[in-house]
Amino acid sequence: MYDVIIIGAGPAGLKCAEQFKNTKFSVLLIEKNRFIGPKVCAGGLTNLTKDFDFPENKIRKFEKQFLYFNDKKYSVNLLNPIQTIDRYDLGQYQLSKIQDCENIEILKETNVLKIKEDEIVTNKGSFSFKYLVGADGSFSIVRKFLGLKNKISIGLCFKSPEIKDEFAFYFYPKVLGSGYTWVFPQKEYTSVGVYYDPEKINAKRAKDFLFEFSRDKGYEIAKLEAGPINSLYSGFKFKNIFLAGDAAGLASGITGEGISFALISGEEVGKKIIEPNYKTEKLEQVINIKRRQEKTKKMFAFFSKTFFGFFVKLINNHKIQKYFGV
């Protein structure tokens, strides 16, 4: 019997667990994988994460980001630097904050097979809970138990050994619609990928375009990986069951950004369980930012060069950046 069971040791689950550090709550954190951290992810950290700490020796910071529209280049001067971090490094850093806490137990290589009203069944036994937190990604078993639908986009990418210095998005509306190609430099590699809506673009077309783009730009193509991104938010609290991160649909439908929403929602869920009267104002703020971002999604597929240039001028305004959480 545990006070809190958290399924998923990604950014949301680890941040949620951290809130219970050295409290009276008994916590079980379950992770299906052998190692905590690795995930298909570009590793971008936007302005929304400015209040969180990250290991300085593991991140890269960029004062500018570059936007390409059909290969015409535009630059955006940022109010707050955008950062990148490898997901393994982020996971291990978060894990280091809780792994020696006596009230937090961590079970790896543990698959959740079934969820009941006050109990979960796993390949390592059954566990009862007072509160359950689903932080188990886009195809969350907790979300499925609650009967919630998903809206899935796909991130398809590889780690190129070339280490670049330009943080960039490439828009090709005729090919990718409202999707984009990204180039995110990390400490030891550059993440190159394509973000797309599988309801509008099939996997082969996205893959072929990514390979064509990479060859054209001179990136050495490495092992290709794909990951789902759920952006359909339908709430985070369901009696004694909570959702956080991608499991809650808290990723941006337009950018695919998920780390910031995961960290904030994980923190807010933990605080809400500890203090039921806690007002999740920070979570509500980022949900509003997510909605603002997604209202512009349809526009990208119909951008002209002139209109895109006007958009870049707007986004260079620091007030606009803050409004959209850039």
How far is it, in rounded angstroms, from Cα 160 to Cα 214? 9
CB burial string 115-138: b at 16+ within 10 A, e below:
beeeebebeeeebebebbbbbbbb
Which residue in 173, 167, 120, 165 sits closest to 145, CA to CA? 120
How far is it, in rounded angstroms, from Cα 162 to Cα 283? 37
Q: Domains along the chain?
A: 1-40+86-151+231-295 (3.50.50.60), 44-83+153-229+296-326 (3.30.9)
Q: Are 267 and 16 in contact (CB under 8 A)?
A: yes
Neighbouring C-beta atoms of residue 321, cutoff 10 Å? 19
Q: In what order do the strands lie in the sheet with 225-230?
A: 44-45, 72-85, 59-69, 168-171, 180-185, 190-196, 152-160, 225-230
Q: Are 251 and 230 in contact (CB under 8 A)?
A: yes
Which residue in 62, 315, 318, 81 sits closest to 167, CA to CA? 62
Look at the alpha carbons of 100, 105, 111, 116 in this order and tell me if their dihedral is positive or negative. negative
The amino acid present at 146, given as its one-letter code, is L
DSSP string, 33-48: SSSSS--S---EE-GG
Structure tokens, 108: 């790896």
Structure tokens, 43: 């590793």
**pLDDT single digits (tens) 118-171:** 999 999 999 999 999 999 999 999 999 999 999 999 999 999 999 999 999 999
**pLDDT single digits (tens) 41-77:** 889 998 889 889 999 999 999 999 999 998 899 999 9
Write out the chain's pLDDT in tens, 326 residues: 999 999 999 999 999 999 999 999 999 999 999 999 888 888 999 888 988 999 999 999 999 999 999 889 999 999 889 999 999 999 999 999 999 999 999 999 999 999 998 999 999 999 999 999 999 999 999 999 999 999 999 999 999 999 999 999 999 988 988 899 999 999 999 999 999 999 999 999 999 999 999 999 999 999 999 999 999 999 999 999 999 999 999 999 888 899 999 999 999 999 999 999 999 999 999 999 999 888 876 665 555 556 777 777 877 788 877 767 77
How far is it, in rounded angstroms, from Cα 194 to Cα 186? 17
